[in-house]
């Protein structure tokens, strides 16, 4: 009888055991990072993570508990099969999500959350991002986990193994009590504020904190907040104080600039290079021989050696580059067309100045809601995957980069001057497929990525060689910049500055000043302002950018990662975790003032996003 009365706690225990095993699987899968943790760290991960395990076990147990309560009141109901098949269904679903989370963390550096929702309208592209994942291994992990716990449930925790030989009233009372008690672990205790992710944050090592998270709890929490764009979670100070500090940052840059162009109204060819990390660019200190053409162009033009991407996703980098707008931590403004309508766009500014405008991309512009953003930018022409022959596609994304550049060259020869043309490459995105023989040996993901970067550089070199022969070349400024960096080849954590450092080069026939290096620290959001200053075009709407060619008393770069930010000044790097509310990296010489400036920028920029 006692055994029957305790079935609900035992069912709850079943799920707790599952989530503890899932955490152990996560730590084993990422054993290279786990080996850096101490035994004390591992113990703390499991003990702190247990609170979230208990919380989500309560959520997943709620329906069976209610079913048991119903059968206590109405004995004719058949709930045993219902509980069994409900449990099996949830087991399979959670095990599949667990497998997805294992590999997602490898690439993105954070646990599974609502981020993939941004890509649901383009499942093909979403699948392409995971094409390099070890599908067989992940499938085996999901299957083995599901099977093991299904058998454990069937022979130990199945409701049919517990016989009800006592009064309906007593059993109903006990079932109701256990159901009501679920609320306590569900909210994490008696405290006033319900449980959240910060309860597992204890270490200066973000991986240790991430390992403590309960993946489905984290997914559920972020899904519930998915449409939450009306509240700023980053309130470190009064709004006016944050606004004043940010204004002070931009006031430190002079409102003037030396001229580097020999043409008053040059054509502008704005080339965005997919995932081009500085770690593969030799003149930026990266590995030699991967980007010989880009390095050559840097010597012939002006290279900015301390530029950082504002975020770590393509659609976020696009907004930072073309609208000079900061990136959001847990969402992206590009998913909301009503908000992007209020952004400045380089294409609009050039169009008002009499330029013809065009955008070229070998993939689908529906990806991550990019098309709506570009249409709000009022480009004259949008060229995407569907404008290229099917035989030119790679297996996942679309036309290879050399095919893209061939189309651009063909069209620009027919383009009326002046023109502003944006070209976005894609071949250096997962799964890193290239149509030429591999330059570098190896079958690791980092080797494939390295070869894809080399291929795009090769395609760029072929394009530039032909472009120099065209009549429009002498009056054209070429902008070369990456959309974001990449954790490879060193598997950088998602906050590390080496992941975000990218190339930015100005070159072309319209450039008067050549062979120059600019070491001013800057962000992607500064590029639009820098460009417009040179062309004497209106830049006031691009209020989040600085002119990188003007003197500055306080040069800085700011970027965000998942619920955190990094604020870089000369010789000083601060990375701050907004969940733990403390620095991850606090470099030598970082002052309390720099911490407050970083917080102010985080708060004020997100508040600007909320108010749009």
Average pLDDT, integer, range 235-250? 96
Tell me how far apart the alpha carbons of residues 124 and 396 are, in angstroms, rounded to a whole number: 7
Token pair of 487 as six digits: 């954790």
Query: In sequence order, which residues have a C-beta less than 8 Å from that of residue 211 and are 6 or more positions away?
Result: 23, 26, 27, 30, 34, 45, 49
- Crossing angle of helices 239-251/592-611, nearest 10°? 110
Confidence of residue 367 (pLDDT cuts 50, 70, 90): confident
pLDDT at 48: 93
Q: What percent of the chain has pLDDT over 70?
A: 93
Tell me how far apart the alpha carbons of residues 550 and 248 are, in angstroms, rounded to a whole number: 16
DSSP code of residue 153 = I
Per-residue CA distances from 293 to 76, 328, 435 (Å): 77, 33, 18
**Range of 226-230, 369-373, 501-505 with top mean pLDDT:** 501-505
Query: In sequence order, which residues have a C-beta less than 8 Å from that of residue 35 and are 6 or more positions away?
Result: none
pLDDT for residue 164 is more than 60: no
pLDDT for residue 121 is more than 90: no
CA angle 603, 608, 609 (to 5 degrees): 100
Average pLDDT, integer, range 204-233? 84
Give this prediction's pTM. 0.83
pLDDT at 15: 97
Query: In sequence order, which residues have a C-beta less than 8 Å from that of residue 24 and are 6 or more positions away?
Result: none
Confidence of residue 285 (pLDDT cuts 50, 70, 90): very high
Mean pLDDT of the chain: 91
Question: Can the peptide bond before residue 328 be classed as cis, meaning omega within 30 degrees of 0?
Answer: no
Tell me how far apart the alpha carbons of residues 451 and 442 are, in angstroms, rounded to a whole number: 10
From the list 94, 82, 87, the residue with the least C-alpha distance to 150 is 87
pLDDT at 531: 97
Average pLDDT, integer, range 333-339? 84
Per-residue CA distances from 292 to 459, 462, 482, 503 (Å): 11, 12, 16, 13
pLDDT at 338: 80
pLDDT at 3: 52
DSSP code of residue 327 = P
Token pair of 31 as six digits: 């054993």
Tell me how far apart the alpha carbons of residues 331 and 609 are, in angstroms, rounded to a whole number: 10
Residue 274, annotated as binding a ligand: yes
DSSP code of residue 389 = -
Token pair of 101 as six digits: 């989370």
Cβ neighbours around 145 below 10 Å, total = 21
Average pLDDT, integer, range 231-237? 92
Question: Choosing from 61, 95, 310, 314, which is the catalytic residue?
Answer: 314
Q: What is the pLDDT of residues 23-38, one digit of tens each?
A: 999 999 999 999 999 9
pLDDT at 125: 61
CA angle 314, 315, 318 (to 5 degrees): 85
Confidence of residue 165 (pLDDT cuts 50, 70, 90): low
pLDDT at 370: 87
pLDDT for residue 316 is more than 80: yes
Tell me how far apart the 2 most distant CA atoms of the chain are, in Å: 94
Query: In sequence order, which residues have a C-beta less than 8 Å from that of residue 596 and are 6 or more positions away?
Result: 236, 237, 245
DSSP code of residue 187 = H
From the list 532, 479, 484, the residue with the least C-alpha distance to 345 is 532
Facing residues of 577 across strands? 564, 582
The answer to whether the beta carbons of residues 422 and 451 sit under 8 Å apart is no
Confidence of residue 122 (pLDDT cuts 50, 70, 90): low
pLDDT at 167: 60
The answer to whether the beta carbons of residues 415 and 358 sit under 8 Å apart is yes
Average pLDDT, integer, range 331-351? 91
- How would you label 180-210 residue by residue, b for 16+ Cβ within 10 Å and e otherwise? eebeebbebeeeeeebebebbbbbebbbbbb
Tell me how far apart the alpha carbons of residues 369 and 329 are, in angstroms, rounded to a whole number: 17
Facing residues of 399 across strands? 393
DSSP code of residue 154 = I
The answer to whether the beta carbons of residues 388 and 399 sit under 8 Å apart is yes
Q: How many helices (H) and strands (E) in the chain?
A: 22, 13
- H-run or E-run covering 306: strand 302-308
pLDDT at 110: 83
CATH number of 258-552: 3.40.720.10
pLDDT for residue 2 is more than 50: no
The answer to whether the beta carbons of residues 293 and 460 sit under 8 Å apart is yes
Residue 65 three-state SS: helix
Question: Can the peptide bond before residue 489 be classed as cis, meaning omega within 30 degrees of 0?
Answer: yes
Locate the domains of the chain by residue range.
2-224, 258-552
Q: What is the pLDDT of residues 125-156, one digit of tens each?
A: 666 666 677 999 999 999 999 999 999 999 88
Pairing of strands 302-308, 516-518: parallel
DSSP code of residue 332 = -
pLDDT for residue 288 is more than 60: yes
- How would you label 80-100 residue by residue, b for 16+ Cβ within 10 Å and e otherwise? bebbbeebeebbbebbbbbbb
pLDDT for residue 337 is more than 70: yes
**Which of 89-103, 172-186, 259-273 has the least mean pLDDT?**
172-186
The answer to whether the beta carbons of residues 217 and 111 sit under 8 Å apart is no
DSSP code of residue 185 = H
Cα 574 to its chain centre, rounded Å, is 19
Tell me how far apart the alpha carbons of residues 229 and 227 are, in angstroms, rounded to a whole number: 6
Q: What is the pLDDT of residues 580-602, one digit of tens each?
A: 899 999 999 999 999 999 999 99
Residue 210, annotated as binding a ligand: no
H helix intervals, 383-481 = 401-412, 445-467
Residue 386, annotated as binding a ligand: no
What's the Rg (C-alpha) of the chain? 27
Is 314 noted as a catalytic residue in this protein?
A: yes
Tell me how far apart the alpha carbons of residues 447 and 489 are, in angstroms, rounded to a whole number: 8
Per-residue CA distances from 171 to 9, 175, 593 (Å): 14, 6, 62
């Amino acid at each position: 009888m006692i055994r029957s009365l305790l079935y609900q706690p035992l069912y709850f225990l079943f799920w707790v055991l599952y989530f503890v095993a899932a955490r152990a699987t996560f730590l084993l899968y990422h054993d290279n990072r786990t080996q850096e943790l101490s035994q004390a760290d591992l113990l703390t991960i499991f003990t702190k993570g247990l609170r979230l395990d208990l919380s989500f076990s309560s959520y997943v147990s709620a329906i069976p508990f209610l079913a048991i309560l119903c059968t206590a009141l109405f004995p004719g109901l058949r709930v045993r099969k219902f509980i069994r098949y409900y449990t099996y269904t949830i087991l399979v679903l959670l095990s599949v999500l667990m497998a997805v989370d294992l590999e997602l963390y490898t690439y993105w550096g954070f646990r599974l959350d609502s981020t993939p929702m941004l890509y649901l309208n383009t499942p093909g592209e979403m699948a392409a991002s995971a094409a390099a994942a070890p599908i067989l291994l992940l499938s085996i992990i999901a299957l083995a986990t599901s099977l093991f716990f299904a058998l454990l449930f069937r022979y130990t925790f199945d409701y049919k193994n517990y016989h009800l030989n006592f009064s309906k009233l007593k059993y109903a009372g006990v079932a109701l009590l256990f159901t009501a008690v679920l609320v306590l672990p569900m909210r994490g205790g008696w405290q006033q504020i319900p449980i959240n992710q910060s309860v597992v944050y204890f270490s200066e090592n973000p991986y240790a904190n991430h390992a403590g998270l309960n993946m489905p709890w984290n997914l559920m929490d972020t899904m519930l907040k998915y449409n939450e764009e009306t509240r700023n979670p980053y309130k470190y100070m009064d709004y006016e104080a944050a606004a004043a500090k940010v204004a002070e940052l931009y006031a430190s840059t002079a409102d003037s600039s030396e001229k580097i162009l020999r043409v008053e109204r040059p054509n502008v060819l704005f080339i965005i290079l997919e995932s081009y990390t500085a770690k593969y660019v030799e003149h930026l200190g990266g590995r030699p021989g991967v980007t010989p053409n880009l390095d050559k162009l840097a010597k012939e033009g002006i290279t900015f050696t301390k530029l950082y991407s504002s975020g770590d996703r393509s659609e976020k980098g696009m907004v930072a580059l073309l609208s000079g707008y900061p990136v959001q931590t847990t969402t992206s403004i590009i998913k909301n067309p009503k908000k992007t309508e209020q952004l400045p766009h380089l294409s609009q500014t050039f169009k008002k100045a009499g330029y013809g405008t065009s955008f070229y991309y070998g993939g689908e512009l529906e990806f991550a809601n990019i098309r709506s953003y570009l249409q709000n930018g009022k480009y004259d022409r949008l060229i995407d995957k569907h404008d290229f022959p099917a035989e030119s596609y790679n297996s996942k994304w679309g036309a290879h980069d050399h095919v893209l550049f061939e189309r651009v060259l063909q069209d620009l020869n027919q383009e009326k001057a002046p023109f502003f043309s944006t070209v976005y490459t894609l071949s250096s995105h997962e799964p890193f497929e290239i149509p030429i023989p591999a330059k570098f040996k190896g079958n690791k993901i980092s080797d494939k990525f390295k070869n894809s970067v080399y291929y795009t550089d090769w395609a760029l070199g072929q394009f530039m060689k032909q472009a120099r022969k065209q009549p429009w070349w002498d009056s054209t400024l070429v902008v070369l910049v990456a959309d974001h960096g990449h954790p490879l080849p060193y598997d950088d954590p998602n906050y590390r500055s080496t992941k975000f450092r990218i190339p930015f080069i100005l070159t072309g026939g319209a450039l008067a000043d050549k062979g120059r290096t600019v070491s001013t620290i800057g962000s992607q959001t500064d590029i639009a302002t820098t460009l417009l200053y040179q062309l004497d075009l209106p830049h006031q709407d691009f209020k989040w950018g600085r002119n990188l060619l003007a003197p500055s008393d306080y040069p800085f770069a700011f970027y965000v990662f998942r619920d955190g930010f990094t604020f870089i000044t000369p010789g000083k790097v601060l990375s701050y975790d907004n969940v733990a509310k403390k620095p991850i990296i606090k470099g030598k010489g970082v002052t309390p003032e720099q911490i407050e400036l970083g917080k102010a920028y985080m708060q004020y920029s997100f508040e600007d996003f909320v108010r749009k």
